[in-house]
Chain A
């Protein structure tokens, strides 16, 4: 069943209002809608699928607890991402660095006979390179490149000035471009 965007947003607003009043089933629907997005954000930030699902659940629980204070001024998705990003950063702070920069895969440097394998290795190399970024810059890069949030939305999500968003994004890209030089240069 296809419905216009306006209707979807209206339904979501209804669900939010119901969930704010304590309706767990309505909240369950919201969880269903946003599960994939939230899990993916956390996964991009922490790099482990199991951890991502667990942290995403934690994010939804925090969202439930803070839901009465949510104001529909900002998109619900961004509000959720804000919580999820903070949960992921908390997890990362607790775990300390899971990725050792020196242990980055060497696979991408050696040409592979099969293009498919090479593509997969390259994708994995890219993923590892993202994970090797400092968490603060990684969060900005993930929200921009994968979630396509605007600078202002990222600033709101991470509660940092827009100038900091730009400098962290710039820093993350600089490191990425250096690490991926052979794939990116034109």
Chain B
């Protein structure tokens, strides 16, 4: 008699054997009582497991579907909202930098105009309103305003940095 097929019985029982191996196991089973009874034990176990009760007293299908539906949109929207909030929060430094760059460009233009006025261009505009103002005073004003606005933007960026750092510490503590 050929070798026992213990090692292949489960795969055979589960329908996972094919081709030559399947034939080999089948022909062995036909002649070996020991392997046959082992296979029967597996079959009995499967039958016994099927007797085990399904869950009783389940909620009606409609209620189940409704409950899932209720839990769905809320979480989804929450995640979306959190996502978009996150994006705009992260965009703040870029916005501040953009603001600062815009102010710098504006003051460069203003200073150039004032410089032009100082070097004679002003004669062409002698009838204009600017002529009545002291040009040096104007230049000082523009520099002062520039420094002031840059400081405000710097402060805003610093406070963003602080709250970002605090937020990070917070999430690190949570995880």
The residues of B that contact A158 with a CB separation of less than 8 Å are none
Q: Is the CB of B53 within 8 A of A166?
A: no
User: What is the distance, in angstroms, from B154's C-beta to the closest C-beta of chain A?
Assistant: 41
A interface: dominant SS: helix
Q: Which of B97-147 contact A (CB under 8 A)?
A: none
Are A127 and B54 CB-contacts (below 8 A) given A28-B68, A151-B16, A186-B41? no
The residues of B that contact A151 with a CB separation of less than 8 Å are 11, 14, 16
What is the bound-complex CA distance between A141 and B50, given in angstroms?
12
- Asked if A78 is at the interface of the complex by the 8 Å CB criterion, the answer is no
Partner pick for A31 among B10, B52, B68, B79, CB 8 A cutoff: B68
The residues of A that contact B64 with a CB separation of less than 8 Å are 31, 35, 39, 53, 56-57
Q: Which of A22-43 contact B (CB under 8 A)?
A: 24, 27-28, 31-32, 35-36, 39-40, 43
Partner-contacting stretch, out of B23-31, B69-77, B84-92, B158-166:
B69-77
User: What is the distance, in angstroms, from B109's C-beta to the closest C-beta of chain A?
Assistant: 48
Q: Is the CB of A184 within 8 A of B48?
A: yes
Partner pick for B42 among A27, A36, A173, CB 8 A cutoff: A173
- Asked if A97 is at the interface of the complex by the 8 Å CB criterion, the answer is no
Q: Contact flags (1/0) for B1-31 with A, using CB distance below 8 Å?
A: 0000000001100111000000000000000
- Asked if A139 is at the interface of the complex by the 8 Å CB criterion, the answer is no
- Asked if A92 is at the interface of the complex by the 8 Å CB criterion, the answer is no
The residues of B that contact A31 with a CB separation of less than 8 Å are 64-65, 68-69
The residues of A that contact B54 with a CB separation of less than 8 Å are 40, 43
B interface residues, tally (CB under 8 Å): 36
Partner pick for B55 among A52, A61, A176, CB 8 A cutoff: A52
- Asked if A21 is at the interface of the complex by the 8 Å CB criterion, the answer is no
Q: Is the CB of A123 within 8 A of B44?
A: no
User: What is the distance, in angstroms, from B68's C-beta to the closest C-beta of chain A?
Assistant: 5
Q: Is the CB of B76 within 8 A of A186?
A: no
Residues of A within 8 A of B (CB): 24, 27-28, 31-32, 35-36, 39-40, 43-44, 49, 52-53, 56-57, 60-61, 64-65, 119, 122-124, 126-127, 130, 141, 144-146, 150-151, 166, 169-170, 173, 176-177, 180, 183-186
Residues of B within 8 A of A (CB): 10-11, 14-16, 37, 40-42, 44-46, 48-59, 61, 64-65, 67-69, 71-73, 75-76, 79
Q: List 20 A-B contacts (CB under 8 A).
A: A24-B73, A28-B65, A35-B64, A43-B55, A44-B52, A52-B55, A53-B55, A53-B59, A53-B64, A57-B67, A61-B71, A65-B75, A65-B79, A123-B53, A145-B46, A166-B11, A176-B49, A183-B44, A186-B40, A186-B41
The 9 A-B residue pairs with the shortest CB-CB distance in the complex, in nearest-first order: A43-B55, A49-B55, A127-B52, A123-B51, A184-B44, A126-B52, A186-B40, A145-B49, A60-B68
